[in-house]
Amino acid sequence: MDGYIGWSLALRQLAMGNEVCGIDNFSRRRAVEEVGSWSATPILPIEKRLSILQKEYGDKISFHKGDLVNPDFTNDVIGKFQPDSIVHLAEQPSAPYSMIDQSHTLYTQSNNVMGTLNVIYAMKNYAPKAHLIKLGTMGEYGTPDMEIAEGFMEVEFRGKKSTIPYPRFAGSWYHWSKVHDSNNVAFACKLWGLCSTDIMQGVVYGTRTSEITEQNKHTRFDFDEVFGTVINRYCAQAVIKHPLTVYGKGGQTRGFLALEDSIQCMSILIDNPPEAGEYRVVNQFDQQYKVSELADRVKRIADKKGLDANIQRLENPRVEKEEHYYKADHEQLKKLGFKATRHIDDEISVMLDDLMVYEERIRAKKEQMTQLVKWRDGSDKIQKIANPLILSND
Amino acid sequence: MDGYIGWSLALRQLAMGNEVCGIDNFSRRRAVEEVGSWSATPILPIEKRLSILQKEYGDKISFHKGDLVNPDFTNDVIGKFQPDSIVHLAEQPSAPYSMIDQSHTLYTQSNNVMGTLNVIYAMKNYAPKAHLIKLGTMGEYGTPDMEIAEGFMEVEFRGKKSTIPYPRFAGSWYHWSKVHDSNNVAFACKLWGLCSTDIMQGVVYGTRTSEITEQNKHTRFDFDEVFGTVINRYCAQAVIKHPLTVYGKGGQTRGFLALEDSIQCMSILIDNPPEAGEYRVVNQFDQQYKVSELADRVKRIADKKGLDANIQRLENPRVEKEEHYYKADHEQLKKLGFKATRHIDDEISVMLDDLMVYEERIRAKKEQMTQLVKWRDGSDKIQKIANPLILSND
C-alpha cells in the first residue's frame, strides 16, 4: 500500500470507514532508486505514513512488511486478517523496467506470476470467500485492428458460436506477465470457485484525490523514463521547461483516467463483488486520447501558467504502432455506478501547480527523464540516448 | 535429452547423421522417484547411455548436465554449440504433478516459464538464427465447443475481420504454464525476429522407434498416476492384470500419436524451419480417440495375449468434461510431409510384449498407479484414493 494507487486507495477506504490492512515490500522505492530517480512528491517513510493514519483512524489501519512471493508470509497475513476484498497491486508495474535486460525480464515475470499464485493459494486455503481485485492493464489487449471488448467476446467460427476470452496482444514482458496472471486467476476461479475482478486499467494521471489535501498525505509521483507515465511525465517536463517528448508520430491512442476516478472505480468494485466462482473483467478508463493530443493539452495549460512548453518528436524505441485503430468498451464500471468526476484539463492544471512546488526535485533528476531503454535491443543495461517518453507503464 | 521423447529424438537425429548436443538436469528421474515410482523400462544412467552413443557416433553426440533456469548455463551451452535447431522438451511435463499442492504449482510455472525465457534470451544473444522447436500441448486448447484450429483463427467481430490466436482453455497449472510459454515465445519472435515452431502435441504412446531395437537403447516408460499417460498406463495395467481404469463416462476425447510418429514429426520440423521472425504453430497428433474406446482396444489386444483385462470406471478427480465435442485440425505437419507409420493396435501389441518383460518392475510400483491427486482439493500431499487414471499429462 506504499505505491501510487495503493496509498491513495488506503486513504479512501479508511475515509469510507473500512478497515484496511496493507502489505508492501517497498520494491517500488528501490526500483525507482535503481534507475536513479525519486518521487517528485517527497513521500514519507512508511512508519510516518502509518503514524499519521493511526492518529486519525486508530486500529482500523494495519500494515505488514513482506513479499507476496513468500508463501508463508502471504498465507499468514491473509489468514489472520480475513479480508472481504484483496486488492492486488503488488506487481512490478513498469513495461520499460521489464525490457531493460534478461534479469529484469526474469524478475518481472517471476515476481508477478509467483506473487499472484501465492495470493490465490492463500485465498483458497484461508479466505475462499474473499473477492480478489487484481490490477491488470489495458495494455494486455494491445492495439488490435478491431473494437476491444471487456474481457470476453462472442465469435462465430466454422458455423459455431462461442464466447472466448478477448485475445491479448501485449507489447512487453511486463504486459505479458499480466496476461499470465489473468489466465491463472481465471483458472483459479473455475477450479476452486474463487471470485475475482480483473481490472484492465488505462493510464492513470494526477496528484490528487479527495483525501490528498495536505503535503503529508501525498502519494508518490514518478516522472522518470522507467516508472513515469505519459501525462504525469509531460507535466513534470513542463514544470522544468524540458521539451514534452513525443515518440514518433504520436498517434498512439490509449484509455486514461484521473487518479481520483481510478480510486472511485476500485471502491465501487470493492462494494460490488461478483458471485462465487465468477471471473469478471472490467475495462477501467474514462477517455481515450492520442499522445500528441495530450502533449498539446499540457502545453496549452502550461503556457497559461507562463511555463512556455515545447514539444519535441523523437524516434520511438518501443514495439508499438504509432497510428492505429483504437476503440475500447468500458461499460461495466458505468453499470456499477462509475461517473467520471475529473476533467483532464482541470487535473493537468492542478498537477502543474502541485509539481511546481517540487521543481527542484524534478530538476535534480532531469537526467533520468532522458535515459532510454531500447526495447528491441534488449541491451544489458539502461542506455542513455535522448529525451524519451514512456507512453504507458500502467 | 534423458526423457521419454528427448532420448528417442536424440537417437533418431544421430541416425540421420546430425550432430546432437543434449541438456538435462534429471528432474524427471527425481520427480518420478518423488512420487514413489520408476520407469517400467530399466533405463541406464546417463553416463552409460552416452558411452553407448559415443561408441556408435563418436563426437557427434555431446551432453551437458545443467538447468535451463540458470541463465549462465543456458547462455554458455547455446553460445558454444551454435545449434541450427533447439528442441525444448525441458519442461515439467505432468499436469497432475502441478496440481499436487502449492509448491508443485509454483515449481511447475517457475521452472517452465523461467527456463523458456532463458532459452529465448540465449537465442537472441548467442544464436539468433536458430529455430526454436518448443513442446507445447494440445491441452492448451482444452475442449472448446468449436473446431480447434492450428494456433490461429480468423474471426469477425462487430464487422471487422481479424486473425487472432486460437483461444486457450487449459485445465491445469501445468497446461497454463505452457500457454504462458507460448505467449512469451510468440512475443520474442515479434520483438527480436527469432523463429519458432510451437508444437501442440497430442498424447504420445509406445515403447519403440526404429532406433530402439535393443534393451540398452530403451527410452523411459512411466506408468504411475502422475507421469504415465493414458494408453501407456492401460498397457502397464493390463500386463499386471490390474483393471484398466476409466474416469467417469470415459467420453474424454484427445489426439494421440505413436512415439515413432512423434519423432518423425519433430525431425520434419527440424528439417523445415519457418522464416526469421515467424512464430508457427502445429497440432501434432495422428488420430482422435475417446478414453473408453482406448480401454476397449487395449482390453481386446491384451485378451488375445491371454492377459484377461478388466475395465473399471472411477469417479473423475480432474476438472474436465467427460463428454464433449472435439475436432482438431492437424494439417500443417501433413503439408510438410508427415505420414503416420504406426497403427494404434499394432503399437499396443508391441507395447504389451515389451512391458511383459518388465512385469515385476510394474508390479513393484502397483501402489503408485492407485494414488490420486485430487485436482479440486489442492491438498497438501498426494492422497491415496483408488485406481486413478491420468488421461493426459502430455
Contact status, residue A194 vs residue B209, Cβ threshold 8 Å: no
| Chain B residue whose CA is closest to A116 | B106
Interface test with A, best of B111, B117, B141, B175 (most A CBs within 10 A): B117
Report pLDDT for A376: 67
Q: Write the DSSP symbol of residue A276.
A: T
A residues 178-207 closer than 8 Å to B (CB): 179-180, 183-184, 187, 190-192
Contact A55/B at CB under 8 A: no
User: Which residues lie below 8 Å from residue A126, measured CB to CB, with a gap of 6+?
Assistant: A75, A78, A79, A82
Which one of A177, A183, A194 would you mutate to disrupt binding with B, by most B Cβ within 10 Å of its Cβ?
Answer: A183
Greater confidence (B313 vs A72) lies with A72
Residues of B in contact with A155 (CB under 8 A): 155-157
- d(CA B152, CA B267) in angstroms, rounded, equals 23
CA distance B233 to A277: 34
- Least CB-CB distance to A187: which of B102, B164, B176? B176
Chain A positions in Cβ-Cβ contact with residue B176 (cut-off 8 Å): 180, 183-184, 187
Distance of alpha carbon B309 from its chain centroid, rounded? 26
Residues in chain A closer than 8 A to B179 (CB atoms) = 183
* Domain boundaries along the sequence of chain A: 4-384
Which distant-in-sequence residues (6+ apart) come within 8 Å of B260 by Cβ?
Answer: B206, B208, B209, B210, B341, B342, B347
Helix (H) or strand (E) holding B122: helix B102-126
Q: What is the pLDDT of residue A326?
A: 97
Contact A301, A345 (CB under 8 A): yes
Q: Give the distance, in angstroms, between the CA of residue B266 and the centroid of all CA atoms in the same chain.
A: 12
Residue recorded with cell 494491445? A142
What are the C-alpha distances in Å from A334 to residues A5, A105, A165, A275, A340? 20, 35, 21, 19, 9
**In chain A, which among 248-307 make CB contacts under 8 A with chain B?**
none
Q: Is B376 on the interface with A (CB under 8 A)?
A: yes
Give the one of B124, B145, B190 whose C-beta lies nearest to A378's C-beta: B124
The class that CATH gives domain B4-384 is alpha beta
Query: Does B79 contact chain A (CB < 8 Å)?
Result: no
| A212 pLDDT above the threshold of 50 | yes
What pTM, to 2 d.p., does this model score?
0.95
Q: Which of A172, A109, A239 is nearest to A394 (CA)?
A: A172
Strand extents, DSSP E, A231-309: 244-247, 253-258, 279-284, 287-290
Residues in contact with B382: Cβ distance below 8 Å, sequence separation at least 6, in sequence order: B35, B100, B226, B371, B372, B373
CA dihedral A81, A195, B374, B4 (to 10 degrees): -110
Question: Which cell goes with B358?
Answer: 518388465
Cβ-Cβ contacts under 8 Å between A and B: the total is 121
**Looking at residue A371, what is its pLDDT?**
61
CA neighbours closer than 13 Å in the CB half-sphere of residue B165 = 23
Q: What is the β-pairing status of strands A311-314 and A244-247?
A: parallel
What Cα–Cα distance (Å) separates residue B12 from each residue in B16, B262, B296? 6, 11, 32
Beta-strand pair B131-137/B85-88: parallel
Q: How confident is the model at residue A160 (pLDDT cuts 50, 70, 90)?
A: very high
* Distance (Å, whole) CA B272 – CA B333: 10
Q: What residues of A are in contact with residue B156 (Cβ under 8 Å)?
A: 155-156
Which residue among A121, A162, A167 places its CB closest to the CB of B144? A162
Residue B108 among the catalytic residues: no
Distance from A331 to chain B by nearest Cα, in Å? 16
What's the number of CA atoms in the CB half-sphere (13 Å) around residue A126? 20
* Residue A200: closest CA among A113, A330, A98, A290: A330
Helix (H, G, I), strand (E, B) or coil at B354: helix
pLDDT digits (tens, 9 = 90+) for A229-258: 999 999 999 999 999 999 889 999 999 999
Query: Do the beta carbons of residue B99 and residue B229 sit within 8 Å?
Result: no
Q: List the grid coordinates of A278.
A: 465468477
The predicted-structure confidence for A334-363, as pLDDT tens digits, reads as follows: 999 999 999 999 999 999 999 999 999 999
Residues of A designated catalytic: 137, 174, 178
Residue B157 near chain A (CB below 8 Å)? yes
Stretch A70-81: mean pLDDT, rounded? 98
pLDDT of A317: 77
Give chain B positions within 8 Å (CB) of A125.
378
Q: Do A147 and B160 touch (CB under 8 A)?
A: yes
CB atoms within 10 A of CB B100: 25
Give the 3-state secondary structure of residue A94.
coil
- pLDDT values of chain B reduced to their tens digit, one per residue, 394 residues: 999 999 999 999 999 999 999 999 999 999 999 999 999 999 999 999 999 999 999 999 999 999 999 999 999 999 999 999 999 999 999 999 999 999 999 999 999 999 999 999 999 999 999 999 999 999 999 999 999 999 999 999 999 999 999 999 999 999 999 999 999 999 999 999 999 999 999 999 999 999 999 999 999 999 999 999 999 999 999 999 999 999 888 999 999 999 999 999 999 999 999 999 999 999 999 999 999 999 999 999 999 999 999 999 988 878 788 899 999 999 999 999 999 999 999 999 999 999 999 999 999 999 998 766 776 664 444 443 333 333 433 4
A167 → closest Cβ in B103, B125, B164? B164
Which residues, in sequence order, are CB contacts of A287 under 8 Å at separation 6+?
A: A255, A256, A257, A340, A344
Grid-cell match 485475445, residue found: A167
Question: Which chain B residues are Cβ-neighbours of A375 within 8 angstroms?
Answer: 191
Crossing angle between the packed helical segments B46-57 and B4-15, to the nearest 10 degrees? 10
Q: Give residue B319's pLDDT.
A: 79
